[in-house]
Structure 1
Amino acid sequence: MKKTTCLLVLICAIFFVELSAQDIQRIYLNFETNTGFQRQLLLGFTPDNVATDGYDYGYDGGTFNDYADDFGWIIEGNSYVIQGVGEFNTNKYYPIGMFLTNSVDVTVSLAELNNFEEDIDVYLYDVELDSYTLLNASNFTQTLQADNYIDRFYITFSTTAHLEINNNLLSVEDNEVASVNIWYSKSNNELYVSGIFNSAGALLSLYSLEGKKIIEEKISKEEHTLNTSEISNGIYIVIIDSDTFSQSRKVCIAN
């Protein structure tokens, strides 16, 4: 499975290189921590909208490494290093996730713009601070606590994107999805889930990055604890499902 997924990432990378004649527009971002970790992301804008903002086989390449800290485009609840989308539009915005098991200093920088006839503005929008960083002019740097940041950071191309982003987040909260919190305690060897569930009997499922279901438990109250002492160390996907919503998070278990 790992060979297959790694091959998919390679195919996506080759795809964007070989289609240069069609003027694929590319944005490269660099992510670094003060612990020495580095990751580069690619966002490619395809002619004639042949790719979408959702998952597109052959256009999107996932992250499949078991790193303690990581960074990726968020597509349908999963993390990707390569994202292919439609034609460039200044009104678009794209969520990026930061998955940190350490409290670190993070830096996000604009590495390269490719095939744009004119320079475009690339911003990192921080929902919590309600602030924009123009990555063309300066890097985004911040000290972040260990956590999974899914709905906090976005790449935008204007300083008005927050109006739609915040409206969408409010809609999510109305459906009681955003109230679900998932975090891991290394000291207690436990995974915690808290929040408001509209229906009893929500399910917590833990999957490996290869897609293997490790465990599934019913959730019948607003707080739930999963003992992880018998689970191998690594990166996992936690999925919470109920009759009214589904939410996933990436967690690092290090017993």
Structure 2
Amino acid sequence: MKINYLLTLFLLGITAQAQMYVSPNSYVFVNDQYVFVTQDVNLNAATSNIYLRNNSQLLQGTTAVNGANVGLGALSVYQEGTVNNYQYNYWCSPVGASNATVGNSAFGITQLGIPSTNLDTRSYTTASILPIGNYNGVSANGSLSIAPYWIWTFRSSTLYSQWFQIASASTLAAGEGFTMKGTSGSDTFTPFTGSGANNPGSKQRYDFRGKPNDGTINNSVTNGTFTLIGNPYPSTIDINLFLSDAGNAALINGTAYYWEQAVVNSHLIASYQGGYGKYTIGGGYVPADIWSYNSDGTYNVDTTVNGAVYQRRFPPIGQGFMVMGTATGSVSMKNSFRNYIKEGAVNLSEFAKTSGKATNSPNSVYDPNSEFFPEIPNLAGVDYTQVRKTYAPQIRINTKINETGIIHTALGFGDQYTDGFDYSGDARATSDGAPASFYFVLDNQPYEFAMSLAKFDIDKKYPVGLKSTAQSNFKIKVGDLLYGFDPNQQVYMHDKQTDVYYNIKTGEFDMTLPAGDVRDRFEITFKENALSTNDNSIADNFTVFQNNDGGFLTIKNPKAIALSNCVLYDISGKVILSKTSLGSNLSFEYSTSGLSEGVYIVKLTTEKNEVVAKKISIFNKK
């Protein structure tokens, strides 16, 4: 069956059971709906067009590698950036060049434009491409100028120097992601479909026009490197289907990395502030750590800017993201990953936005009274009404380093997870090259992990690492409890060296450590050790205090409990004083007059191998 569109049509929604053919001097206009075509789309002539407006999308069911669409006409669909002329968004075009060749085509920014009137959203003005030496894109009523210098892609590398400049060339393969900075200025034209102004300020609308991408789209990855890809279709996709695809799972680490950038109005790399948020199937999205950078693209310092929480389950049209390879091959985007979700945070579909376009749309996935999705049109045959919307119950842990930025991490739980690496549950961090980090340590894994999912056991201890290239202060506390984690459960940071437990739910872990990478000293626990300072049967038998006027440490032992040793540590865990075979004296005193001011840990061990650890503060010594 072939459906011919020989007349001008204004559609509320349609399903084409086979091919969609749009004849010369005809167009299909879709408003607030989706079109599903089981086979190819033929835009026969340059005057054959499809216009997707007001959250409209195109779904296709072909399985051809590199697609089966053809034609000199164009599909037109809007997407808005979220940055000004100094910051980047990561993109992936939903269209390629219009031509008579069957299959997907390469894309270039010369295919971008803007709606040119507020009366007819078929009309548009092609963007002006500025000279390569002009770094500032500009938006104005009726015009759009793009700075091609900022169009780059990243093909299987870990080095900043390996970004590849595309500029205005039409050489971006289908499915290949790219960077693009936004524009300065504003454009108050508002298309009548109710989608807002073209650019109210730092939110440029782009009209993507060309042959719509479809079918299986492959992009190369290699072991241990990042590749910039994205959603290549004029519809949303389910990122969980992409990550769980068996072929993809054999080639990547199961995490999608999304760039977030703070507003710093400079084109200098040394002024950039940004980082990568991480999404996995099991854990959801962990916000980015926002770093500043050196001129060679390496990390400098973690900034005071806090990464935001975005809804990443259904990447919208145009969304780009990174993947990390674990083997050499080609990851695949497939039509079967496509679905119809209207963009907006409430629908778990955000293009780096803090608020969505559609808050109460008919297919909204948000229902406070249901843990399951509603029906969602899709090509994989998924019954979303049987799919839960939440992720693993988890603790979000925030680490402040040197009183500046925050490292975001998550520790989640489920019976299906292990202490080792779990694909698309555990999220490898991007902080390997950072000067400081807090991370989770997994069994038999040398890498740093920003998200760790494991089986919950209240008696279990979950190892964490602290790293710094110079002496650094770490302040660690629970930031949030999500997806049903017990709000009454206490959470501790345990220092195995000093045997001190820090309640990081009601307080914080505060410690200054020397340069180094410590992977075997600290752990997250849910109970204090039975022999710790909170065990009244042991700890309350001793009184430990610092006499700062006299400059000595006093230990009172009124019950004459036999002690095997006493160790004094500084806050970094360095042994300052060690005494053995103490016996059962009623009192002990040790000079502290030569010690620096600060917090110290006193650790007592009885002859029955019972342990008591207490903090003291040394200051104002004579």
How far apart are 1:162 and its partner, in Å?
9.0
Which residue does 2:499 correspond to in 1?
Answer: 130
How far apart are 1:64 and its partner, in Å?
2.3
Q: Does the aligned pair in 1 maintain the 2:396–2:481 contact within 8 Å?
A: yes
Aligned residues: 160
Partner Cα distance (1:14, 1:35) in 2: 32
How far apart are 1:116 and its partner, in Å?
2.4
1:232-251 mapped onto 2 (5 Å cutoff): none
How far apart are 1:23 and its partner, in Å?
6.3
More helix by share: 1
Residue 99 of structure 1 is aligned with which of 448, 464, 467?
467
Partner Cα distance (2:524, 2:389) in 1: 26
Q: Does the aligned pair in 1 maintain the 2:491–2:526 contact within 8 Å?
A: yes
Which residue does 1:41 correspond to in 2?
Answer: 409
Q: Does the aligned pair in 2 maintain the 1:6–1:64 contact within 8 Å?
A: no
Which residue does 2:427 correspond to in 1?
Answer: 61
> Can you give the 5+ residue segments of structure 2 that lack an aligned partner in the other structure?
1-224, 229-251, 258-277, 285-312, 314-386, 533-622
Whether 2:512 is the aligned partner of 1:143: answer yes
Question: Which amino acid is 1:79 matched to?
Answer: E
The secondary structure found in structure 1 opposite 2:255 is helix
Whether 2:325 is the aligned partner of 1:78: answer no
Whether 2:8 is the aligned partner of 1:8: answer no
Which residue does 2:28 correspond to in 1?
Answer: none
Which residue does 2:397 correspond to in 1?
Answer: 29
Partner Cα distance (2:417, 2:522) in 1: 22
Partner Cα distance (1:144, 1:102) in 2: 9
Cα separation, partners in 2 of 1:32 and 1:117, compared to 1, 3 Å: closer
More strand by share: 1
Q: Does the aligned pair in 2 maintain the 1:2–1:64 contact within 8 Å?
A: no
Q: Which structure: larger Rg?
A: 2
How far apart are 1:35 and its partner, in Å?
5.7
> Can you give the 5+ residue segments of structure 1 that lack an aligned partner in the other structure?
164-255
The secondary structure found in structure 2 opposite 1:3 is strand
How far apart are 1:143 and its partner, in Å?
1.1
Question: Which amino acid is 2:426 matched to?
Answer: D
The secondary structure found in structure 2 opposite 1:158 is coil
Percent sequence identity is: 24
Q: Does the aligned pair in 2 maintain the 1:53–1:85 contact within 8 Å?
A: yes
Whether 2:418 is the aligned partner of 1:52: answer yes
Partner Cα distance (1:36, 1:135) in 2: 19
Alpha-carbon deviations, 1:194-218, whole Å to 9, x = none?
xxxxxxxxxxxxxxxxxxxxxxxxx
Partner Cα distance (1:130, 1:104) in 2: 21
Partner Cα distance (1:20, 1:162) in 2: 42
Partner Cα distance (1:74, 1:9) in 2: 20
Shifted more, 144-153 versus 117-126: the winner is: 117-126
Q: Does the aligned pair in 2 maintain the 1:41–1:81 contact within 8 Å?
A: yes
Cα separation, partners in 2 of 1:22 and 1:106, compared to 1, 3 Å: closer
Partner Cα distance (1:130, 1:70) in 2: 22
Partner Cα distance (2:439, 2:494) in 1: 15
Cα separation, partners in 2 of 1:14 and 1:35, compared to 1, 3 Å: same
Greater relative contact order: 1 or 2 (C-alpha under 8 angstroms, separation 6 or more)?
1
How far apart are 1:36 and its partner, in Å?
2.1
The secondary structure found in structure 2 opposite 1:128 is coil
Question: Which amino acid is 2:525 matched to?
Answer: T
Partner Cα distance (2:529, 2:468) in 1: 28
How far apart are 1:108 and its partner, in Å?
0.5
Question: Which amino acid is 1:69 matched to?
Answer: A
How far apart are 1:12 and its partner, in Å?
3.9
Q: Does the aligned pair in 2 maintain the 1:91–1:161 contact within 8 Å?
A: no
Partner Cα distance (1:123, 1:53) in 2: 19
Alpha-carbon deviations, 1:180-206, whole Å to 9, x = none?
xxxxxxxxxxxxxxxxxxxxxxxxxxx
Cα separation, partners in 2 of 1:117 and 1:13, compared to 1, 3 Å: same
Cα separation, partners in 2 of 1:161 and 1:58, compared to 1, 3 Å: farther
Question: Which amino acid is 1:42 matched to?
Answer: A
Partner Cα distance (1:7, 1:23) in 2: 15
Question: Which amino acid is 1:84 matched to?
Answer: L
Q: Does the aligned pair in 2 maintain the 1:12–1:82 contact within 8 Å?
A: no
- The TM-score normalised by the length of structure 1 is 0.56
Cα separation, partners in 2 of 1:84 and 1:100, compared to 1, 3 Å: same
Question: Which amino acid is 1:60 matched to?
Answer: D
Cα separation, partners in 2 of 1:152 and 1:8, compared to 1, 3 Å: same
1:136-215 mapped onto 2 (5 Å cutoff): 136-160=505-529
